[in-house]
Amino acid sequence: MFISMSMLEIIQILSVVFGTLVAAPLIVSKKAKKRLIGLLAVIAGSSFAIIVQVYLGLYYFVFANAFWLLNACNGIKKIMKTQRKNSTGL
């Protein structure tokens, strides 16, 4: 079964694994480092999903995944800003 899979199917599976299975439990964590890893997983999953959707011509869905990708980048920026603020003691 796995031997006959195309590259597009593998990318779809990676999108689900990173975007949902890995990201969801990490994003709700209390620790900032785990949330950061979860947001990076969202970025990876969204990127894989965008590749598949562009290939299949599902351009409206690309915008939805771009929204999640940008929100994850914004979350990473906020975590880094908070960590920098806490490390300087201000």
pLDDT of residue 4: 81
Residue 77 located in a structural domain: yes
Domain extent for 41:
11-88
Q: What is the pTM of this model?
A: 0.87
Q: Give the dihedral sign, CA 28/34/38/40.
A: positive
Kindly give the residue spans of alpha helices, DSSP state H, lying in 30-58: 32-56
Could you give the CA distance from residue 5 to residue 80 in angstroms, rounded to a whole number? Answer: 39
Could you give the CA distance from residue 58 to residue 79 in angstroms, rounded to a whole number? Answer: 32
Residue 36 located in a structural domain: yes
Q: How many structural domains does the chain have?
A: 1
Could you give the CA distance from residue 4 to residue 85 in angstroms, rounded to a whole number? Answer: 51
Residue 4 located in a structural domain: no
Residue 3 located in a structural domain: no
- Give pLDDT tens digits along the chain (90 positions): 567 888 999 999 999 999 999 999 999 999 999 999 999 999 999 999 999 999 999 999 999 999 999 999 999 999 999 988 888 765
Residue 18 located in a structural domain: yes
